[in-house]
Structure 1
Amino acid sequence: MTDVLRREVDRWGGLGALYGVLRADPWSAVRWDNGIPPERSAEAYAAVQDHVNAFGDGIPVLFVEEAPHGLMALGGTTLPVNLALGAGMDADLTEELAAAVAAEARARGTHVALVSGLDVLRDPRWGRAEECFSEDPALAALLVAATVRGMQGTASAGDPIDGTHVAVVAKHLAGQGAGIGGRNGSGAPIGRRELGEIHLRPAHAAARVGVAGFMAAYNDVDGVPCSANEELLTGTIREQWGWDGLVMADGTAIDRLRDSSPDPAFAAALALNAGVDLSLWDEAFTHIEPAIERGLVDVAVLDRAVDRVLALKRRLGLFGAPTPDQPAADAGAADVPGAPAAGAPTADAPAGRDLIELVDRAARQSVVLVDDGGLLPLRPGQTLAVVGPNADDLDAQLGDYTPPRPAPDPGASTVRSALTARFGADRVRYAEGSRLRGPLADPGALDAVRAANAGADVCVVVLGGTSRRTYDDEFADNGAVDGPALDTTNGEGVDLSSVALPQAQLDVVRAARAGGTPVVAVVLDGRPRALTELRSLADALLVVPFPGPSGGEAVAAALCDGTASGRLPATFPAADGVMPVAHDERMETARGYVDTDVLQRLPLGTALLPGISARLTGAAPSVAASALTAGGTAHLTVEVTNAGAEPRSVPVPLYARRHEPGVRPRRRQLLAVRRVTVAPGATTEVAFGLGLDALGSWASGAPVAEPVTLSVWCTPESDPPAHALPVRVTDQNGATPWER
């Protein structure tokens, strides 16, 4: 309770929504010594509701919090970042994680979670790459739908959201991953087909499972800002898709419309007319009244927005009695509709233990083995040198927008601590070697690497990036770093012109190699990197998108137990400056670069899975376009064989090239992916039913059945191999245009 809050309630006669009561991170300057601990969350929320009831209109406040990868509050469980879940390619686990996070958030009183997942990673220079599930829209759509189902506990729009779940505002809509030069919030100069096929598909998936809201992004699409884009916010998602939830503008996005409007009232009218219903702390949106008086917007448009906000509050059970599964309110909140429970799950409670177990499993699934060099698994009794800037840095594993960890933090592990626990302190030698972007001031840092490596059997070099923010950084109004972020390489506002590994890090690898010790490189990062030079220096390579607090043990398990089972969720370029790089870029008639072998890239889906093989079986299927529209499917089967001695859980992808007359094809697309467990020495059949989403055209932003031929395969090639199967979507005559 602050004077600012009291003034706002007095100013407006109420409060529609309140953001970030529990938010804790460097930007908010909230730490364990000055923030709201889990056990007092209910008290804090209830105090606000009581004040609004007493001095405002009595309509319940909508409490909104950030949940980019777990609730961003003191005591909130930190998950692996979205890109790590993309590497795991496990929709079921993603849904379980989302449900557990929602239960944790709602138990503390949160109503709405702002959740990343709509952005598609089209440029690795973008600092927010870690918030994306993938560069591929099909994988992003699969996982964002799982996230919404898990967090909301709903299957379609309008379904009530009970007291163990939260409403999701999915962000960001749309095209933010296509910003010019990978710069955050820059324009997306893309055509309607690119927007529909790539950037709207995840949003369509979210809308179909009843997502409560979308957040309009900062960027423009072909010059029209998303928060003022009526074609997008009304024409596409509401009129074309039939979705009618709430649209929230990103923080200060409406204020940023001032570069395309003469005054704040005009900016407010632009957003409201376009379909924005709720603002996130914009001053311009408080000028709606003069906008109405000047005839810039109709009262009916305002009523429409108000109705959508109230509809969400009803969907959450905030009017009248709580929904049946609503947690019981504590004494301080007994008269507050939809009040939270007094406490929240802890790591010692069954729900808390279950969530930690899920987080650990997700971290293990995020580890991608690229090369093993015959060095893995590591053997008991070996002496290890564990070196590099990310070898013993917990913060480097956590990702952006992470609440401060409790101290001590018994569930956390770094690569160094996890390997020390396995091998013993006398067999693990450590040296940092360098910072992430520059060398240490100590000129003997590389000598320390050489000394740690002397006599070691294997050197594990842990490199990459970090989204670490400090309480001393300077921040912009929206929370992004606005000043020098010492050694920070990732996160919102930390876009890079170069995705090559800095020479300071490569110098550590060179120092490790100097003594002739075999080198295993581990790249902990939140964006694709150019790894060609590193691969020439290291004998084995693992890539791990920021895996969360238990990431050290996840890496150690991959090194020692052979548990790596992820696949690259995005393409890692052959060299710096090779853009665009996504595996599904359109085929070109150009010859490529004369100074770079672009085939040294690591495409989406790359993984070394020892003992695992897969092949398509059966005849080439056909399905009529009319049947596809009516819910029909084409059926394919992949046989997955595990020649190893242990059960293996692995993602099984299907790739395709679409042959559509008059449209230049994408090199390959991900049609579908399923994670399956295969018993040792066994073969498992994985059945795929390819429906409208997989086989239809997404040019309009929604799937449409059209006669077409696709070449389909399940192996790592970037071009259709000889064993690819044709899948036909036929016209009323049983033919496809490709056959004429």
Structure 2
Amino acid sequence: MTSANDLSLRERVGQINQRLKGWEAVRWIDGEPRITDVLRREVDRWGGLGAIYGVLRADPWSQVRWRNGIPPERSAEAYHAVQDYVMRNGTGIPTLFVEEAPHGLMALGATTLPVNLALGATMDLELAEHLGEKVAAEARARGAHVALVSGLDVLRDPRWGRAEECFSEDPWLAAAFVRATVRGMQGSDPHAAIDRAHIAVVAKHLAAQGAGIGGRNGSGAPIGRRELGEVHLRPAYAAARAGVAGFMAAYNDIDGIPCSANRELLTGRLREDWGWEGIVMADGTAIDRLRDSTPDAASAAAISIHAGVDLSLWDDAFTHVVEAVERGLLAEGDVTRAADRVLALKTRVGLLSGTGESSSRAAYDVRELITLAARAATESVVIVHDREKTLPLAPSAIIALVGPNADDIEAQLGDYSPPRPAEDPDASTVRTALIRRYGAGNVRFAPGSTHRHRLGDDALTSVTEACAGADVAIVVLGGTSRRSYEDEFAVNGAVDAPAVDTTNGEGVDQSHLALPAAQLEVLRAARAASSRVVAVIIDGRPRPLTEVAALSDALIVAPFPGPSGGQAIVDALQTGSACGLLPATFPSDDGVLPVAHDERRETARGYVDARYPVGHLLGAGAPKDVTVLLRPSSSSVTRTALSEGAVSTLIADVVNDSDSEISLAVPLFGRRHEYGIRPRRRTVLDVRRVRVPAGGSTAVRFALGLDALGSWATGRPEPSPVEVIAWTAAQHDPPEDVATVRITEDGDPG
């Protein structure tokens, strides 16, 4: 491997810089990729580049769209033009191509997936791994080497606009999905080189960004070490053990120390404690933001590199690294160490051996990825309640379809989505899917409102007229992370002045989470005019649903399900069943926030109206005619045995009394009783997805090891004397019949 010691200090600084926005480094002109003076100046300045971000990025912030972007089938040509210039005009060391992949590759023509919160609702870890594998193949075939992937953030406050980027509020679930995603995208061997069918992952964001005060993006996380370890470091530890190539340091601070300047976190925890090797990348302009706690740009660069940041992102501060060394603010060896880590990543993806490049005709199965994305959308739909047996819809039903999300494909996609192609036969809204199934003459449509405002004086009259005489009213409400090419953006690409109708996404934190009054007016009008009402919520964050539940006979929740989400929702309406489970708590009202299913038990009763009484529980939407019974048992395992890989096996019997096969996720909940520590109400210990034949049953085995039974107070699992009680019922407190596992000291019979 090329060593940073072979480079001058200036060239080493070039290897740890990622200043360029890639879409500004190459333009598509007259059917050909043309490098720009922006790229020429940067390469000339440093003699090479560590990485270039976003050559393929397409969205309103980059202002790249179909008419001016790089054609999907010629992506590798654009990369080649950039790489050729970098190698011919510098040290000869190739650059890494880095792209965003928050829910699919963020590029023209790429496959958009359901958002992470929707994947969390599937509780299907095998599916998440397959999706990761196919997204990696698509990105690598286009020519990228590194994907920036969300998932480390644990959703602890739904006021945060980026809630949709989280897999769950539960740390076990978040960690399990992160591990599956990394394995799928990089390969199953955590120590192996990353071949051309896979892609290096930089997991984001480290750490505790989901614990920001009031759900404000980038605000401080005023939490203790135990809360940090038990909740927010578990996904990162899972990624580290899966061999993740990199971590992105978050914007927020933890108890006043910015993550990008936190040596205890980035060096002490990651490298010295966990033994992880890889790169730490700063979030966009995060190093420049350290100017609020350092006197100048050189000092900001010095404190971050000393803390453990190896690669910048769009920052000016890293252009002052030579100055920082000359002033004695930073040891030259720290720069060498960071550059060596970047070079090690280039080696891991095959760049320095010549095996890392792709051709524009590299093969990947896009149809399989589209099919998997549609399956994920279907599995993510949650039927929260159907008290009046309103579902399934009759085959010949006359349907009134109302609400702002009934026919809005953009509202299904989530934040940071690339522009849609003009024609997409795989895409569907609820309206188009209903028309395909029931015919245009049987589907009466009246949106009634935008996401925030009524559509004129006659809007509610149109809703009433649509509902009159219909067999059922389907009211599709919720939010949108839609971005406009006319929006204003912050320097890091977040929405700076949200569009009038945008309700979700980075930069759209909200103090009031209840559905806007205009949407509730639509629901009330439909209720007044209809004998049967089905409410459907398409959104990217938990919202109070108390009034929605009271006004509807059936209630469906679908976290932003992606382009095929309309068909997924209509499938649930037609069958009356869905296999998604809520991945986060839905509060009863704004005033109870923050709230989570795994909060610690309180000495007082707490709020008397703390939560929505059905839909807030993980697993509340269990399919009809299915019973899950955990076999009561008691077992023990010693601390030494647990640390050496021993497991305790619990068994649940799933009985399907329906006349059709069912696929469902079976979560196992638990409560740890550890001496001197106030217990959490419950946590997820494990999840297994199973298929149960019609009229049959199956036994589900949960093998609980150190991850499930150990203490996470330090951010990694450690055995400690404890009693864990486990159950499968969807309730906060354990039922009478539970399984018990005791962790004992060696020689203690338990």
TM-score by length of 2: 0.94
Distance 1:599 1:649 in 2: 25
Kept in 2, the 8 Å contact 1:38–1:344? The answer is no
Q: Pick the aligned partner of 1:656 from 656, 666, 670.
A: 670
Cα offsets for 1:143-177 (capped at 9, x unmatched): 10000000011421x31000111000000000000
Shift in alpha-carbon separation, 1:168–1:119, aligned structure 2, 3 A: same
Q: State the superposition RMSD in angstroms.
A: 1.2
Aligned partner of 1:340 in structure 2 is: 358
The answer to whether the aligner puts 1:33 opposite 2:67 as a matched pair is: yes
Q: CA deviation at 1:597?
A: 6.6
Q: Pick the aligned partner of 1:127 from 157, 161, 167.
A: 161
Give the letter aligned to residue 501 of structure 1. L
Q: CA deviation at 1:726?
A: 1.6
User: Where in structure 1 are there 5+ consecutive unaligned residues?
Assistant: 323-337
Identify which range, 96-105 or 34-43, moves more after superposition: 34-43
Structure 1 vs Structure 2: percent identity of aligned residues?
Answer: 65
Shift in alpha-carbon separation, 1:344–1:453, aligned structure 2, 3 A: farther
Aligned partner of 1:329 in structure 2 is: none
Q: Pick the aligned partner of 1:538 from 544, 547, 552.
A: 552
Distance 1:662 1:712 in 2: 20
Structure 1 residues 352-363: aligned runs within 5 Å: 352-363=366-377
Q: CA deviation at 1:598?
A: 6.6
Aligned partner of 1:436 in structure 2 is: 451
Distance 2:70 2:447 in 1: 35
Q: CA deviation at 1:735?
A: 5.5
Aligned partner of 1:335 in structure 2 is: none
Give the letter aligned to residue 531 of structure 1. L
Q: Pick the aligned partner of 2:538 from 524, 533, 557.
A: 524
Cα offsets for 1:196-216 (capped at 9, x unmatched): 000000000000010000000
The answer to whether the aligner puts 1:577 opposite 2:591 as a matched pair is: yes
Kept in 1, the 8 Å contact 2:614–2:620? The answer is no
Structure 1 residues 176-215: aligned runs within 5 Å: 176-215=209-248
SS of residue in 2 equivalent to 1:641: strand
Q: Pick the aligned partner of 2:268 from 235, 246, 249.
A: 235
Q: CA deviation at 1:594?
A: 6.0
Q: Pick the aligned partner of 1:606 from 612, 620, 627.
A: 620
Q: CA deviation at 1:600?
A: 6.3
Shift in alpha-carbon separation, 1:566–1:600, aligned structure 2, 3 A: closer
Q: CA deviation at 1:599?
A: 4.9
The answer to whether the aligner puts 1:695 opposite 2:713 as a matched pair is: no
Shift in alpha-carbon separation, 1:344–1:457, aligned structure 2, 3 A: farther
Q: CA deviation at 1:601?
A: 6.3
Q: CA deviation at 1:563?
A: 4.4
Distance 1:282 1:563 in 2: 50
Q: Pick the aligned partner of 1:216 from 226, 244, 249.
A: 249
The answer to whether the aligner puts 1:149 opposite 2:163 as a matched pair is: no
Aligned partner of 2:116 in structure 1 is: 82
Kept in 1, the 8 Å contact 2:546–2:612? The answer is no
Aligned partner of 1:13 in structure 2 is: 47
Distance 2:610 2:685 in 1: 30
Distance 2:742 2:610 in 1: 37
SS of residue in 2 equivalent to 1:436: coil
Aligned partner of 2:340 in structure 1 is: 307
Kept in 2, the 8 Å contact 1:169–1:214? The answer is yes
Structure 1 residues 631-650: aligned runs within 5 Å: 631-650=645-664
Shift in alpha-carbon separation, 1:582–1:596, aligned structure 2, 3 A: closer
Distance 2:557 2:287 in 1: 39
SS of residue in 1 equivalent to 2:695: coil
Distance 1:514 1:523 in 2: 19
Give the letter aligned to residue 316 of structure 1. V
Distance 1:199 1:610 in 2: 34
Aligned partner of 1:165 in structure 2 is: 198
User: Where in structure 2 are there 5+ consecutive unaligned residues?
Assistant: 1-34
SS of residue in 2 equivalent to 1:577: helix
Aligned partner of 2:9 in structure 1 is: none
Kept in 2, the 8 Å contact 1:434–1:445? The answer is yes
Distance 2:544 2:375 in 1: 28
Distance 1:32 1:683 in 2: 51
Aligned partner of 1:462 in structure 2 is: 476
Distance 1:414 1:585 in 2: 37
The answer to whether the aligner puts 1:291 opposite 2:324 as a matched pair is: yes
Aligned partner of 1:66 in structure 2 is: 100
Give the letter aligned to residue 313 of structure 1. K
Give the letter aligned to residue 275 of structure 1. G
Kept in 2, the 8 Å contact 1:570–1:605? The answer is no
Give the letter aligned to residue 485 of structure 1. A
Cα offsets for 1:277-296 (capped at 9, x unmatched): 00011001111111111111
SS of residue in 2 equivalent to 1:482: strand
Aligned partner of 2:18 in structure 1 is: none
The answer to whether the aligner puts 1:402 opposite 2:417 as a matched pair is: yes
Shift in alpha-carbon separation, 1:664–1:599, aligned structure 2, 3 A: farther
Give the letter aligned to residue 130 of structure 1. E
Cα offsets for 1:435-466 (capped at 9, x unmatched): 112222x1100111001101100000000101
Distance 1:10 1:154 in 2: 39
Structure 1 residues 412-423: aligned runs within 5 Å: 412-423=427-438
**How many residue pairs were aligned?**
715
Aligned partner of 2:139 in structure 1 is: 105
Distance 1:321 1:66 in 2: 24
Aligned partner of 2:392 in structure 1 is: 377
The answer to whether the aligner puts 1:513 opposite 2:513 as a matched pair is: no
Kept in 2, the 8 Å contact 1:154–1:160? The answer is no
Aligned partner of 2:77 in structure 1 is: 43
Q: CA deviation at 1:607?
A: 1.1
SS of residue in 2 equivalent to 1:674: strand
Distance 2:599 2:749 in 1: 28
Identify which range, 510-519 or 310-319, moves more after superposition: 510-519
Aligned partner of 1:321 in structure 2 is: 354
SS of residue in 2 equivalent to 1:269: helix
SS of residue in 2 equivalent to 1:727: strand
Aligned partner of 1:268 in structure 2 is: 301
Kept in 2, the 8 Å contact 1:371–1:608? The answer is no
Distance 2:527 2:716 in 1: 52
SS of residue in 1 equivalent to 2:223: coil
The answer to whether the aligner puts 1:255 opposite 2:270 as a matched pair is: no
SS of residue in 2 equivalent to 1:586: coil
Distance 2:301 2:674 in 1: 43
Give the letter aligned to residue 242 of structure 1. G
Kept in 2, the 8 Å contact 1:415–1:555? The answer is yes
SS of residue in 2 equivalent to 1:486: coil
Aligned partner of 2:379 in structure 1 is: 365
